[in-house]
Chains A and B, each alone.
Chain A
Amino acid sequence: MKTSLLLWGVLAVFLGATLVAEDDDDEKEEHTLVDNKCKCVKVTSSFVASKDNPEEKVLERNIRVIIPLKARQNISDPTSPLRTTFVYRMTELCKKCDPVEVELNDRVVTAEQSNTCKSSDTCYTYDRNKCYTTTLPFSYGGKTTAIQAALTPESCYPD
């Protein structure tokens, strides 16, 4: 009885340790620096215990890049060839180009926070909140017309 309990206890401790590790991660506060839906890059930073000195906290930056290997060179044109080159520039990704509301002497003005913000950017993957369409030749009854088809149907519903 006692040995069985002991064995169970050991197993429990072992499994508990893994659960503890899970638990701690939920407490970590992550600050998002970049969330680029166009190139699918997410950069977050958080304070973690230093590997050298567990008492100390160091700033750790996590960069997550998901590369869409089956994407086309032009995501709005499914007939274009497959993309084989993916370029990620941290300086460009880290630019804050989304317009922000800034208060100037009791007037609210929308402005971009960085200069040289390129409005057009080649996207490697679809942004879920945007609707992408393409024109297709559609033959029916011997007649061929060009119609618009949705590439991301869920995003293309009217509000």
Chain B
Amino acid sequence: VSSSSSIFGPRQVTGLLGGSVTVKCFYPRTNVNRHDRKYWCKESTRQCATVISSNGYIAQDFAGRATITDFPEQGIFIMELSKLGLKDIGFYKCGIGLNDRGLSFEVKLDVSQGSYHLGASYLIVFCNWEIYPTDNIQESKGIGAFRELSAFLVLLSWLYKGTIKKKKKRRCSQNSPPVLDVSTLLNGRCLLSQNKSGPKVPEGAELYYKELGGSVTMNCVFGTQYASVRKYLCKMGKTGCSTVIDTYGNVNPTYKGRALLSPQETPGSFVIYMTQLRKEDSGLYLCGVGEYGETDKGGPKKHMSPFVSPETAVPQGRHTINGVIGGSVSVECRYDPRRNYTLKYLCKWRKNGCTQLITNLIMMIDSYEGRIVMHDNPKNGTFTIIMNQLVAEDAGYYWCMTDGDVERKSSKELKIIDGQPGLTGLKEVNAVIGTRVTLSCSYPCKYYSYQKYWCKWNNRGCKPLVSYEQNQTSPAVNCDEENKTLYLTFNQVTQTNQGWYWCGVSHSGHYGETMAVFLRVNGAALTKGTIPRNADYEEPDISNSGSGKRADFPADSSSPSSQEHDNSKVILSVLIPIAVVCLLLGTVFVVVKFKLLKRTELVSVGSYRTNISMSEFDNPRELGAKENAGINNSQETQIGGVDEFVTVPANTESAEEPKVVKRGSKLEQRVSFQAHLMQNSMGSDSPLSKTSSG
């Protein structure tokens, strides 16, 4: 019993006598294998004698008939043997390295006679063999020995040049005969399919040679008449063909999250992706339409035989990702960095296919606005998708896809678990145009050594924000290490600053957690401080008041409260001048009022009793505080009106005629006239000169 090796090829090949046969063997594309010797040897009791090798050797018996070609980039090498003779029948090995070291695959070569149709190289055309029912594809239930017996009899049939064969041949020659896939016989299966329409020879099993952990794409093309029929993929086993996945949403639990059935553009065709391949996935698969077992629909089937090589394993990264509600996850998808893929995307697995969420060009779905971002790193061959603001419905399977032919598609399962997000902060911030706004994001200790950043989200990605020193209009990013909060400040926020901002951490090139904040900018700013504006601040504008509540909000209180200061400064600068003006007006008013009051009173008295009024005027102190106490009698100060006045000397004995002082008001004119009269009548030295005061 030979142990399995990582070389894979067809188990049996059959060629026509005088014809040729092609054998394709797969190997893991490691560096060694690509450069090592490839050989094809014929087994005998003692050893395996080389028939042909990639080093240039050809055995004499096969000279001129055999060729060997290596395709190292694809990981296959192909042998062709022509002019087949009966002595070529036997067991061969295709392998790498030295002949008997075990890195090989055994192939049985058969040569048959007669004019048979041949599809692929390992088909035997046969028809109406009674043991196998021709109408359905049920496995003929029998013991293993019986199966092998019949297989062997089939193989022996060409030996036995009897009439049985010839009869069959006659019956088969008119229409296209049913075909028997011999490779499946050795698996214990026998499949017949009958062609009703034209000479369509169904292919044999398509061989897929995949790496452990890798992925495989299987194309199934059927006619457009099967557009609305159930399509399925099933795996052959001892008890029949068990469904792996179908279009009705049934998925075998071992393949859950690993297999995806997705319809193609042309109706009736579909493609199946299988990822995270395990060794147990190797085997024969069938893709078909309708139900397994029906052939009246012309039941086309396709046999696929993926072989999972254990040698080269694709690094896949984590397959299950845990996220908390409100938190974020980052999904890393890998692809071959040497190849150029035009389209890379992430899609969410649903029963009827995979919905594209985001591609490397643009985000697809509106409901993910502000929530999802893709970063591509072509050098490493990874693209990272970050999703935040998680909700419970985000749980499920996600597929990373590329449009290339070399598959590195992988699927990840996102699970929502209990817990709290690491990055905390306000998720929604309202601001008024022209004011200073700060977004804050608090991180826990474990991110202390990580790189932290702020970026602005748009549907093409998240643009990192750089801090500016002097520029007033752009936002400033600074990190307050001690208190573990990251701030993003806008000195004068404008309408264009509105949008989603992400605060995130990253470590050695891998993106970690993120948190999204939505900044809403309201218009119509009022520059002077009035009461309505203050009220606007108090309510949903949590940024100011809320910041004060947090304990770790530091000495950096100047930044949010500076807005208040600004406003109060404005208020003060406006109120104070007003107050001063008011006060001055008030005092003037008071003074005027008092003086006038006194004046009118005295004038009226003076018109009746002159003496009293004169004596009253003697003492300026009685008239009020505004009257300057130390002023000379000769000096009078007129309040109100524009007056030109001339000082009258105190001792105006010689002043017969006091100088006329121009008055602005009638009352004063009256007073002066009376004084004049008095003076003239009395003619004595009297304090008439004082009468001019008023």
Contact = CB atoms under 8 A, between A and B. Distances in A.
Interface string B652-682: 0000000000000000000000000000000
A32 B156 CA distance: 38
Contact of B3 (A12, A42, A128): A42
Nearest to A17: B145
Contacts of B144: 20, 23-24
B152 A19 contact: yes
Given A12-B152, A12-B153, A108-B318, A129 B145 contact: no
B188 A30 contact: no
A15 interface: yes
A13 B35 contact: no
Given A30-B4, A42-B3, A20 B148 contact: yes
A20 B151 CA distance: 11
Contacts, number: 60
A44 B279 CA distance: 14
On chain A, which size bracket covers the interface?
A: 20 to 34
A16 B149 contact: yes
A95 B457 CA distance: 49
Nearest to A4: B160
Given A19-B152, A25-B1, A64-B3, A154 B32 contact: yes
Interface string B1-45: 101100000000000000000000000001110111100000000
A12 B35 contact: no
Contacts of A17: 145, 148
Interface residues of B, number: 29
Contact of A16 (B32, B97, B148, B187): B148
B318 A23 contact: no
A154 B1 CA distance: 28
Contacts of A128: 32, 97
A81 to B, nearest CB: 24
Given A30-B4, A128-B32, A159-B31, A15 B280 contact: no
B30 A129 contact: yes
A24 B322 CA distance: 42
B149 A13 contact: yes
Interface string A117-132: 0000000000011000
Interface in A43-92: 44, 64
Most B CB within 10 A of own CB, among A8, A13, A19: A19
B151 to A, nearest CB: 8
Interface of B: 1, 3-4, 30-32, 34-37, 97, 144-145, 148-149, 151-153, 156, 160, 186-188, 238, 280, 310, 317-318, 322
Given A8-B160, A64-B3, 16 more contacts: A12-B149, A16-B149, A16-B151, A19-B151, A19-B152, A20-B145, A23-B188, A25-B1, A30-B3, A30-B4, A108-B317, A128-B97, A129-B31, A129-B32, A157-B34, A159-B31
25 contacts: A12-B149, A13-B145, A20-B144, A20-B145, A23-B186, A23-B187, A24-B144, A27-B238, A29-B280, A32-B310, A44-B3, A64-B3, A101-B318, A103-B318, A108-B317, A108-B318, A128-B97, A129-B32, A154-B32, A154-B35, A154-B37, A155-B31, A157-B31, A157-B34, A157-B35
Interface of A: 8, 12-13, 15-17, 19-20, 23-25, 27, 29-30, 32, 42, 44, 64, 101, 103, 106, 108, 128-129, 153-155, 157, 159
Considering the complex of A and B, which 7 residue pairs feature the smallest CB-CB distances, nearest first?
Answer: A16-B148, A154-B36, A16-B149, A20-B144, A19-B148, A157-B35, A154-B35
